Amino acid sequence: MGHPTDSTCIFCKIAADQIPCTKVYEDDAVLAFLDIGPLVRGHTLVIPKGHYATVMETPPEVLAEIAKRLPGLSKAVLAATGAKACHVLVNSGAEAMQSVHHLHFHILPRKGGDTFRIPWNAGKLDSVEGTALAAAIKGQMGC
Ligand code: 5GP
Ligand code: ZN
């Protein structure tokens, strides 16, 4: 169907209906299904049908196809689970806890008083280091 695939990839097999999943949405470009190991009730994964390992390797237009569907999918997951908020997150690369190397967005519905926690051990941005870092990133972006 014109998109790249990896015959060893479990999400490519799911997208090709070779391995079953609990689908919640599907169209030509995107598939959404329930995570087999939910962190919270309603934990949903959204993938492009094409195989791209990380955000960094995904063509912007493929990311745009996913982005277009995220508001509707997030609202549907929230409505179905009775949640009022959610995390939408992407682990991109092994060091960032990515275990399945086919791009996927996690939708994690949250409710007041739930017990799910993401450690968020905030530091403090040093202004000198921050200025240098911002310059380095701007340089990489060509601006
Ligand atoms: P990652 O750590 O790569 O961001 O997340 C991978 C997610 O995929 C995990 O939450 C894991 O439970 C889920 N997962 C792995 N294999 C399967 C599978 O075969 N089916 C489904 N539905 N989810 C899977
Ligand atoms: Zn894949």
With a 6 Å cutoff on the Cβ, whether 33 touches ligand 1 is: yes
Ligand 1 atom 24: the closest Cα is on which residue? 36
User: What's domain 10-140's superfamily in CATH?
Assistant: HIT-like (3.30.428.10)
102: annotated active-site residue: no
Collect all residues with Cβ–Cβ distance below 8 Å to 54 and sequence separation of at least 6.
92, 93, 98, 101, 103
Ligand 1 pocket member 36 (CB < 6 A)? yes
Average pLDDT over residues 64-87: 98
78-136 pLDDT, tens digit per residue, is 999 999 999 999 999 999 999 999 999 999 999 999 999 999 999 999 999 999 999 99
Contacts of 20 (CB under 8 A, 6+ apart): 14
Using one digit for the tens of pLDDT, what is the confidence trace for 9-50? 999 999 999 999 999 999 999 999 999 999 999 999 999 999
Residue 91, ligand 1, Cβ within 6 A: yes
What is the pLDDT at residue 2?
A: 84
User: For residue 39, which atom of ligand 1 is closest to its CA?
Assistant: 10
pLDDT of the residue at 20: 98
Starting from the CA of residue 20, give the closest ligand: 1
User: Residue 1 — pLDDT band, cuts 50, 70, 90?
Assistant: low
Residue 81 vs residues 11, 14, 78, 90: alpha-carbon distances, Å: 24, 24, 5, 21
